[in-house]
Chains A and B, each alone.
Chain A
């Protein structure tokens, strides 16, 4: 029982470390969490004069792109 619990804990820790590393890489590359990136992308698009509709679509795509990379690393 103890061995099973320990192995689950070990797998969890191993995964967390990997995810954390991936997140850090992503944060370094894209400068924040995926949602922050999407919000920033929306604001930046508005600032440079794109339409609300295009800015929203860019934000959605950057969010998805960011998540795809986050889970694929």
Chain B
């Protein structure tokens, strides 16, 4: 029965999401992270980033099968300082998603000017029956395992998403997509994104563009770029 409901939800989502455009605003919370705070070098910067994250907001705009997730423009007043919060939230540029093509692109940033990263692999969500009410919406829990690899180690962590089938939009923060409802809350390691406002409209169209720059995969980028800051 549960699977029939999920299938119906995906079917409805497919028809509904083709016509809906909208803008979702997300707040960010940087939680205290023992690993970072125990590190002498990162500690002062992370503490600063935690404070700055209170001002940090992101917008998710979507139009049919495409979405763009990016920091809101109003934050530019504070410029570089908020940049510290953005990097610790691991999201200081645009994230483009085309759900039909299963394409996720990370726009360029200060560290890799002109390079757009293409994320590889499709997210394999584990849909659970846990539910909770967020902002008056009944939300369901889903998890996905993410593997982060650098030249020293490989770490695996779990990303938790709370999605809302009442809002049949399959997008969410930071390029996470593919659930039968809008992601209202997302927890990725020490970073949590939570919906602040929802604005769904049919009478205007957002112009969503693929980020400018040379598109390369994450693996290619890691191979190409020497660890420029490494000793």
Contact = CB atoms under 8 A, between A and B. Distances in A.
Interface stretch (B13-21, B132-140, B147-155, B194-202): B147-155
Interface string A36-73: 01111111111111111111111111101100100000
Contact of A49 (B41, B48, B155, B228): B155
A43 B87 contact: no
Given A30-B44, A31-B40, A65-B81, A38 B229 contact: yes
Contacts of B92: 57, 61
Contacts of A59: 111, 228-229
Contacts of B84: 61-62, 65
A47 B230 CA distance: 11
Contacts of A2: none
A4 interface: no
B129 interface: no
B230 to A, nearest CB: 6
B128 to A, nearest CB: 25
A39 B231 CA distance: 7
Interface in B12-53: 35-36, 39-42, 44-45, 48
A62 B151 CA distance: 21
Which label, helix, strand, loop or mixed, suits the secondary structure of the A interface?
Answer: helix
Contacts of B221: 53
A42 B229 contact: yes
Interface residues of A, number: 32
Nearest to A57: B111
Interface string A12-45: 0000000000000000011100000111111111
A7 B81 CA distance: 37
Contact of A53 (B152, B218, B230): B218
A17 B143 CA distance: 56
Interface size classification for chain B: 35 or more
B80 interface: yes
Given A48-B36, A65-B81, A65-B84, A56 B227 contact: yes
Contact of A37 (B41, B48, B87, B222): B41
B158 interface: no
Given A43-B231, A46-B151, A59-B229, A53 B222 contact: yes
13 contacts: A29-B44, A37-B41, A42-B229, A43-B230, A46-B150, A49-B35, A55-B229, A56-B229, A57-B111, A58-B88, A61-B80, A61-B110, A65-B48
Given A39-B231, A42-B227, 11 more contacts: A29-B44, A42-B230, A46-B150, A47-B152, A53-B111, A53-B222, A58-B42, A58-B88, A61-B84, A61-B87, A65-B48
Per CB-CB distance, the 5 closest pairs between chain A and chain B, nearest first, are A42-B229, A49-B155, A40-B41, A59-B229, A57-B111
